[in-house]
Structure 1
Amino acid sequence: MSDAVRLSTRFPAHWRLPLAALVLLLLAILALYAHTVVGMVTIWSRSDTYAHGFVVPVITLWLIWRIRHTLAALVPKPSPLAWVMLLGAAGFWLAGDLVAVNAATQLALVMLLVLAVPAVLGWHLAKAMAFPLGFLFFAVPIGDFMLPYFMEWTADFTVLALRVSGIPVYREGLQFIIPSGAWSVVEACSGIRYMIASVTVGCLFAYLSYTSLKKRLIFIGVAILVPLVANWLRAYMIVMIGHLSGNELATGVDHLIYGWVFFGVVILIMLFVGARWADAPAPPAGPLGAAASAGAQARGMSSRRTAMAAVVALLIVASPHLLERLLALGTQTSAVSLAAPAAQAPWQNNASPPSDWVPAFQLPVATSHLGYSGPQGEAVGLHITYYRQQDYERKLVSSQNMLVVHDDKQWAQVSGGSATTQLAGQPVTVAAATLRNQAGGLTANTQRLQVWRVYWVNNRFTASDALAKIQGALSRITGQGDDGAIVVIYTPLDPQLTEADARAAATAVLQNFMQNQGGAIEAALKTTRGAP
């Protein structure tokens, strides 16, 4: 057999140019979006929750390699519809990059990589690779938005289980006290990393073990439910072990080790049980040489179409960078001089704020912390955090911007919610929370604060993270720059009143302050921005 025939048997001729075009397009995407790629890899390397991202691309390539004989028998045929979808993914990336949303840009990057396949090879080939391509989305480090819910559910279950076990519990927020000591549900206790690991492994196992869609969906559902319940049981058992051992066991680092051991055992049992219903593997496809005849008639016209498809796709994926350069022209680069809101009668400025607490907002360009007193001696603090020239480290809306970090030793957030007020004559919804000073212990009569938080962006106030991001993008697109601020007002709760009455009284104080000072706050922000 000649070398030419042997090469044709190993690798169909009608695949050579399309595959080369696809590889070059994928490399171009990775190069053009290099800072997004670096951002993903950085998160993989620093977070145990998303460390599996390193192996996801490798698994995807291996999954595609497993079906290479099936793919070789198909004839690549570029899809114009995929070009339109590629344009949508590029626009999605641009919108996310304008407001520095890692989850959006990284999700868009994977969408670009996946859509490059039908853009060059066609939908029939993309369909044949549906699961491997879909599995690539597990590389996106997304899921932190579920963290507060997982922490709350874990605390709910643990406290309920302790009470059912006959142990008295006093709970406030994510912290609770039992007779043997105090416990707190922190990020490591949320179970989010167990959930993400379980779903990733579960989807891969279901794909490799079952051919029935029903079986696959059932197993994936089990992979979602098992880590959720397992983490609740883990948290309960750790508290019980600590309680029964006089806090000598399952405290500190070792309770995390116990958690991973418990989770590992649960996952192994889940996979062992799932394997009992595994389907027989499908018979292997024919050799690569069988594809030669399928592509013989397409060789003449495929080269031109494939080259055109790759060029069009490359222009599409490069377009957001040109637009971004144009939009950057509207961003202000001058230093920020934060204007102080003037006190409006009957409110007056105080020499100092009513508390030393400050929000845990990261890397602003300017901040101010002022105190005010009302006509009846009410004390209100105003904290303004200002952002300009935002990027992925310094940005207005971020999961790192919190009223109180979870491991704060002095302050803890014990409740959350929302409230509606009047600001500059317009109804505005604000995020509300109650904070407690932890210096004297969980049950001590220490200082508590009622806190309201609202974003100011694109000359609008909103409490919504999503709306703040959208307004930020609109501000950039319309050439208004990326200036924005977080406005926080707070007042101490009256320790002489019941919890409910104290919060109601504090809400009335903040309502009155916003109605009187809202216009001055807005005017100061506009002055800082330089807007007319």
Structure 2
Amino acid sequence: MDKPVFPDLKKQWQIASSALVVLVAAILFLYRETGMAMVTIWARSETFTHAFLVPPIALWLVWRKRTELLAQTPSPYPLALVPLACCALLWLLGDLAAVNAVTQLAMTALLVLAVVAVIGWRAARVIAFPLGFLFFAVPIGEFLLPQLMEWTATFTILALRLSGIPVYRDGLQFVIPSGHWSVVEACSGVRYLIASLTVGTLFAYLNFQSNRRRWIFVGVSILVPILANWMRAYLIVLLGHVSGNTVAVGVDHLIYGWLFFGVVVMLMFMIGARWAESPAREAAPLATRSPPTVLRTSFLSMTVAAAALVIALPPAIEWTTQGRESADFTALAGPTELGPGWRRVPNGENTLRPAFHNATGELLATYQRRDDSVVIYLGYYRNQNYERKLVSSDNVLVTSKNPDWAQSATGERDTSFADRPVQVRTAELRSVEGLGQTESARLAVWQFYWLNGKLTSSDYLAKAYSAVHRLLGQGDDAAVIVLSTPLGGDGKADAKLESFMRENFSAIDALLHKMRNGS
């Protein structure tokens, strides 16, 4: 027999709100490590410090809609369990592959869908924007860094040349008569872009009623900070050049950047305010437009119970996989000889060591045959987690602060070895000391991943393989393989690396399988 029903809207909302609080609390508890990772990034990174304000702003936006919301009848929406289950599965795969962006987006989506499941689609539509605004709390966007840096460098160099200043460019490094400059992560403008998009979206929601005007202003909030950052970078280099590098360098570089960005955004909001629209006055309260329905508490209880089961299952599965982790090993030793004529020799003073952090084991070895030399770096990872993982935005060939090497070109190359086609990433590195010199030292570099015997150069496939292998109980052993050789002037560097891999990959593969099997 069904439990009593409550025709009084206030009473129904008290019951629905209590159920929602329980479900949200369950999500925050079961996924607490994901939530704490988000907060840690907010506190650590200036790019995402604004995210501390997102939850309070979302709650305030809901409070503004309280009259309209309470005029609706809360009605459980069991169909929300389908996307809820999909997001829970997405979180599991993201956690197995240790991808912060995936787990944090999935957890935020679980919170939003929990609201829909408990109060229903009609009521949730009233607070659709506050719920969507929660996604600005997810610290994501740094994947845009390489492209934004490339665009900034291209515009800055073009603007300098149009200003009559000669420029020599090499990747993200460039030389003008007054000195050397480089576009680093802080110059990308990603901080300005994320901050502008967050504030601009909120401004558009509060000041415009037309969706068309809202989307236009959001688009402007994306375009303006990108263009402003290009102009900022150009003006900073120009000021440094005309002042003999006494203005707009060091700390002033960042201060001038934020001041310039602040002025641009203020002007953007002032212009947007001229087209602000007053809220339309409702003709009648929503409660009188349709007769209220009633809340069946047994239906609500079943929906909440089913949602709780769905959200509890992925953490339980993840917990069971922890018991299948392999033991760590202590050393990764390369052979003294590889294929015909390749012998190991001491590493040079400036031998390239890629910036792969917290590897379980590493090997950096130089092999030589007659006049040819190849440096091989193996970074081996086992029992990966958020602090120790193969694919990470922190793991790169060279950082912008590398004292020896700077990256000047990247690409991809289709090749074959081990009787199978393989795509590798390619890069060209130049000696930092030789920037602006035509005869500076250069390296040709290949990079790809080994995942339990599978080969790929794709970060996304590497993450997917890792998640599937862990889910199937096969462990997450994986490695990055980086080869480098002097570029030379004969254009045969890639051919040398290809020949080296065809002759020696079987030995490298055997070494990695030996480490995987613990023998």
State the TM-score, normalizing by the size of structure 2.
0.95
Q: Shift in Å at residue 144 of structure 1?
A: 0.8
Q: Shift in Å at residue 521 of structure 1?
A: 1.1
Does 2:492 align with 1:505? yes
Q: For 2:320, what is the secondary structure of its paired residue?
A: helix
Among candidates 503, 506, 510, match of residue 519 of structure 1: 506
Equivalent in the alignment of 1:18: 16
Does 2:307 align with 1:313? yes
Give per-residue Cα distances to partners, 1:226-252, cap 9 Å, x unaligned: 111110001011111111111110011
Give the RMSD, CA atoms, in angstroms.
2.1
Rounded Cα–Cα distance in structure 1 between residues aligned with 2:218 and 2:316: 41
Q: Is the 8 A contact 2:422 2:455 kept in 1?
A: yes
Does 2:364 align with 1:369? yes
Write out aligned runs for 1:254-269 (5 A).
254-269=252-267
Equivalent in the alignment of 1:277: 275
Q: Is the 8 A contact 2:344 2:368 kept in 1?
A: yes
Among candidates 446, 456, 460, match of residue 462 of structure 1: 456
Aligned amino acid, residue 315 of structure 1: L
Give per-residue Cα distances to partners, 1:455-499, cap 9 Å, x unaligned: 1113201110000001111111111101110111110122xx2xx
Among candidates 190, 193, 196, match of residue 191 of structure 2: 193
Rounded Cα–Cα distance in structure 1 between residues aligned with 2:358 and 2:260: 39
Equivalent in the alignment of 2:33: 35
Rounded Cα–Cα distance in structure 2 between residues aligned with 1:68 and 1:250: 49
Q: For 1:422, what is the secondary structure of its paired residue?
A: strand
Among candidates 358, 373, 379, match of residue 379 of structure 1: 373
Rounded Cα–Cα distance in structure 2 between residues aligned with 1:136 and 1:409: 41
Rounded Cα–Cα distance in structure 1 between residues aligned with 2:282 and 2:203: 19
Equivalent in the alignment of 1:3: none
Rounded Cα–Cα distance in structure 2 between residues aligned with 1:442 and 1:105: 44
Rounded Cα–Cα distance in structure 2 between residues aligned with 1:452 and 1:435: 11
Does 2:294 align with 1:298? yes
Does 2:442 align with 1:448? yes
Equivalent in the alignment of 2:213: 215
Rounded Cα–Cα distance in structure 2 between residues aligned with 1:86 and 1:382: 45
Rounded Cα–Cα distance in structure 1 between residues aligned with 2:314 and 2:24: 16
Does 2:476 align with 1:489? no
Does 2:182 align with 1:184? yes
Q: Alignment length, in residue pairs?
A: 512
Write out aligned runs for 1:331-410 (5 A).
331-340=325-334, 343-353=337-347, 355-374=350-369, 376-410=370-404
Give per-residue Cα distances to partners, 1:258-291, cap 9 Å, x unaligned: 1111101110111111111111123379889x68
Rounded Cα–Cα distance in structure 2 between residues aligned with 1:284 and 1:33: 40
Q: Shift in Å at residue 409 of structure 1?
A: 2.2
Q: Is the 8 A contact 1:94 1:324 kept in 2?
A: yes
C-alpha distance 50-284 of structure 1, shift in aligned 2 (>3 A): farther
Give the fraction of aligned pairs with identical amino acids, expressed as a percent: 51
Rounded Cα–Cα distance in structure 2 between residues aligned with 1:84 and 1:103: 21
Rounded Cα–Cα distance in structure 2 between residues aligned with 1:167 and 1:382: 41
Give per-residue Cα distances to partners, 1:26-67, cap 9 Å, x unaligned: 111111111101100011011111111100011110111101
Among candidates 303, 318, 322, match of residue 316 of structure 2: 322
Q: For 1:12, what is the secondary structure of its paired residue?
A: helix
Structure 2: runs of 5 or more not aligned: 1-6
Q: For 1:394, what is the secondary structure of its paired residue?
A: coil
Aligned amino acid, residue 319 of structure 1: L
Equivalent in the alignment of 2:4: none
Among candidates 19, 38, 49, match of residue 51 of structure 1: 49
State the TM-score, normalizing by the size of structure 1.
0.92
Equivalent in the alignment of 1:5: none
Give per-residue Cα distances to partners, 1:269-322, cap 9 Å, x unaligned: 11111111111123379889x68x955x514x2x22222221111111110011
